[in-house]
């Protein structure tokens, strides 16, 4: 019997009408393993109403007590790491080790948010004027929404949870309908940790549920991670509705390989960054830019040999380097981009199409794919493929190489591999990209910094998590106070100054 996945509203499972449903696949077998009911606008409204009720008492709780709930939640997730990773892998397809990484990177943000008593502190100035003191306080926005993508079903929801809940908001989460079980289980663990009912609601759905959140008067802010087209839509709609928003989009990250780079490390880094998690990461490294023909020839020869030895397997295979992609539709999309690259004239050195795993012939597998001599004018280079496909674009010098990520429509992450501190320093300062790695292939910042790209990778000027996340989910109130000791006389008719 097919498992049913329900919403999580007011501290418990909520079945809803399930007028429309979505299939949740096991990517390793291609079989439908569950169905998830999509929320109607009325059900979204019920979740928001419950969040509004729960948020008032939660916001009134002192930050230290809120932090204790976060500490307990972190402990519970760590205790259930194995079962959560297995559940995540079964719906997404990423291997168990990668699923644990998904969970751990989310927990790092929860850990940072445990410091909310310090992070929520305002500012104070004594005697800003004669007998006048000025202070500011950070207060929660109220009810906020988080809309998360399929590729990180634990990490990104925990980004939203940590920042929004710690600061005293209530969060309505709309996770991806492709792998929705882990966010629901996380909500259950929040309740076990002591979170009051309504502070975290989980509603499933597609555009209908998203639009209900975007247009709801009680939703004060929306944080989104997903494709650039939808991010742009989120940004436009929230602007029209007068809502605060973070809208993170797609990526096409480049790795610049200088002639002096440690090629052993470069090849190892590209194997993991380009093919890990089947390339379904917004911070993957799908474009290699070797500088100089000698560098290019060595890199292509070595990466091809190493990629041919990668083991593609089911998500729970401990020996697999990566597993299947998330759906058959996404598999077909990736294969269409591979064909596009062939038609555009790029050299296809490894073709992952037609990969079949014995006993799992219906799984959504794609083998490692490698293109050489890709040109910037090719559409397959200009667009995000989001699969286990590495494209090599050769450059003659650093200026030409740096222009590629700087001029690309996406600006999420970039990396440079070199032993030259001067080259790395100048590259990091000048490249038109939001996150830079120097001999680091996936430069996702640690939790006490912040995550955010540029250009079509981010339709926002506020980054995810870190102190930027605290600012996004709070508003500042500034108080100017005076306690007069006598008659203020004519001063009542004069605008206050600091003289």
- What residues act catalytically? 282
Token digits for 264? 């052993």
Whose structure tokens read 């993991």? 272
Q: 128: left (phi > 0), else alpha (psi -120 to 50), else beta?
A: alpha
Whose structure tokens read 């998690």? 277
Nearest in space to 423 (alpha carbons), one of 255, 252, 267, 260: 260
Alpha-carbon dihedral 46, 52, 57, 61, rounded to 10 degrees: 120
Q: Phi and psi of 202, rounded to 5°?
A: -125, 120
Cβ-proximal residues to 341 (8 Å cutoff; 6+ apart), any chain: 348, 371, 374, 378, 380, 389, 391
Token digits for 253? 């990250």
Q: 347: left (phi > 0), else alpha (psi -120 to 50), else beta?
A: beta
Alpha-carbon dihedral 235, 240, 245, 247, rounded to 10 degrees: -10
Q: What is the DSSP letter of 392?
A: E
Cβ-proximal residues to 177 (8 Å cutoff; 6+ apart), any chain: 22, 24, 36, 38, 204, 205, 206
Helix (H) or strand (E) holding 410: strand 410-411
Residues 3, 25: Cα–Cα separation, whole Å: 11
Rounded to 5°, the CA angle 421-424-425 comes to: 80
Helical spans, DSSP H, in 376-472: 379-382, 398-407, 421-430, 466-472
Residues 346, 337: Cα–Cα separation, whole Å: 12
Residues 29, 10: Cα–Cα separation, whole Å: 35
């Amino acid at each position: 019997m097919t498992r049913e996945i329900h919403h999580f509203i007011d501290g418990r499972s909520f079945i809803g009408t399930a007028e429309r449903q979505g299939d949740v696949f096991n990517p390793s077998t291609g079989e439908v393993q569950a169905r998830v009911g999509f929320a109607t606008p009325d059900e979204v409204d019920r979740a928001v109403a419950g969040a509004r009720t729960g948020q008032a008492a939660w916001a009134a709780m002192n930050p230290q007590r809120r932090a204790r709930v976060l500490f307990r939640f972190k402990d519970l997730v760590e205790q259930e790491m194995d079962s959560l990773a297995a559940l995540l892998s079964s719906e997404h397809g990423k291997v168990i080790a990668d699923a644990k990484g998904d969970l751990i990177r989310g927990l790092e943000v929860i850990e940072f948010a445990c410091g909310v008593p310090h992070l929520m502190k305002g500012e104070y100035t004594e005697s800003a004027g004669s007998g006048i003191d000025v202070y500011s306080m950070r207060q929660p926005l109220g009810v906020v929404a988080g809309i998360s993508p399929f590729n990180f079903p634990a990490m990104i929801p925990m980004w939203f949870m940590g920042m929004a809940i710690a600061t005293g908001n209530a969060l309505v989460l709309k996770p991806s309908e492709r792998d929705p079980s882990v966010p629901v289980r996380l909500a259950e663990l929040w309740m076990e940790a002591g979170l009051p009912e309504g502070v975290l609601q989980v509603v499933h759905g597609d555009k209908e549920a998203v639009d209900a959140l975007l247009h709801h008067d009680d939703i004060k802010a929306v944080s989104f991670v997903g494709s650039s087209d939808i991010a742009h839509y989120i940004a436009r709609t929230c602007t029209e509705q007068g809502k605060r928003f973070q809208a993170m989009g797609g990526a096409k990250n480049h790795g610049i390989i200088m002639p002096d780079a440690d090629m052993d490390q470069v090849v190892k880094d590209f194997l993991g960054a380009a093919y890990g998690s089947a390339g379904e990461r917004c911070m993957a490294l799908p474009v290699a830019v070797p500088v100089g023909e000698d560098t290019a020839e060595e890199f292509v020869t070595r990466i091809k040999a190493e990629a041919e030895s990668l083991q593609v397997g089911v998500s729970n295979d401990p020996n697999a380097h990566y597993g299947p992609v998330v759906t058959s539709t996404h598999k077909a999309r990736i294969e269409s981009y591979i064909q596009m690259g062939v038609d555009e004239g790029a050299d296809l050195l490894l073709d992952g199409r037609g990969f079949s795993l014995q006993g799992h012939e219906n799984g959504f597998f794609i083998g490692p794919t490698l293109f050489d001599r890709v040109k910037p004018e090719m559409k397959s280079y200009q667009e995000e493929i989001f699969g286990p496909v590495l494209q090599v674009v050769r450059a003659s010098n650093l200026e030409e190489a740096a222009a590629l990520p700087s001029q690309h429509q996406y600006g999420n992450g970039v990396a440079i591999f070199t032993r030259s501190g001067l080259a790395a320093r100048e590259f990091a300062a000048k490249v038109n990209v939001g996150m830079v790695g120097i001999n680091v292939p996936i430069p996702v910042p640690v939790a006490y910094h912040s995550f955010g790209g540029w250009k079509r990778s981010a339709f926002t000027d506020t980054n995810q998590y870190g102190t930027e996340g605290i600012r996004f989910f709070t508003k500042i109130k500034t108080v100017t106070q005076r306690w007069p000791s006598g008659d203020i006389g004519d001063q009542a008719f004069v605008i206050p100054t600091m003289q």
